[in-house]
C-alpha cells in the first residue's frame, strides 16, 4: 500500500511537469512556444536554400533538426510535421521566420520589428 501511494504521487508529479497545451490565435496548440527557436531555424534555412523547395524539403529538415533534441525528437517531429504545408506556403510568401512561426502557433508572441 505504501509503495502504491508513492507511485501514484510520482505519476501525478510527472503529469504536472509535462508542458500544458494552450491555444494560439489559430486555435492550434502552441505548447508555450517551446519549439519557437527550432521553427525559426527551420524557416531561416528554408529561405536560404530557396523558398520553392516546399514540403518534402521541410519534412527532411524537420527530421534532422528534431534529431538534435535527443529524447524530445518524437515530440518535436510530431508538432512540426503538423505545420509543414502551412509553413511551406508562408515561406513562399517571403515572410520572415519569426512571423511564419507565429502564424503556425509555434511561437507565443507576435514578432516585434
CA–CA distance, 111 with 20 (Å, rounded to integer): 22
**pLDDT per residue as tens digits for the range 14-73:** 333 444 444 444 444 445 678 898 899 999 988 888 756 788 899 999 999 889 888 989
CB neighbours of residue 53 within 10 Å:
17
pLDDT of residue 2: 55
pTM, entire model: 0.66
Cα–Cα dist 77/32, whole Å: 16
Average pLDDT over residues 95-100: 92
In the block, residue with C-alpha cell 509543414? 84
Amino acid at each position: 500500500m505504501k509503495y502504491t501511494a508513492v507511485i501514484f504521487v510520482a505519476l501525478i508529479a510527472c503529469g504536472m511537469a509535462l508542458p500544458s497545451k494552450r491555444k494560439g490565435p489559430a486555435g492550434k496548440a502552441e505548447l508555450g512556444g517551446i519549439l519557437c527557436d527550432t521553427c525559426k531555424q527551420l524557416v531561416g534555412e528554408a529561405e536560404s536554400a530557396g523558398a520553392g523547395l516546399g514540403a518534402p524539403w521541410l519534412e527532411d529538415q524537420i527530421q534532422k533538426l528534431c534529431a538534435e533534441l535527443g529524447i524530445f525528437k518524437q515530440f518535436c517531429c510530431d508538432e512540426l510535421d503538423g505545420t509543414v504545408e502551412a509553413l511551406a506556403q508562408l515561406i513562399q510568401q517571403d515572410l520572415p521566420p519569426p512571423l511564419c512561426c507565429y502564424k503556425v502557433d509555434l511561437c507565443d508572441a507576435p514578432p516585434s520589428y
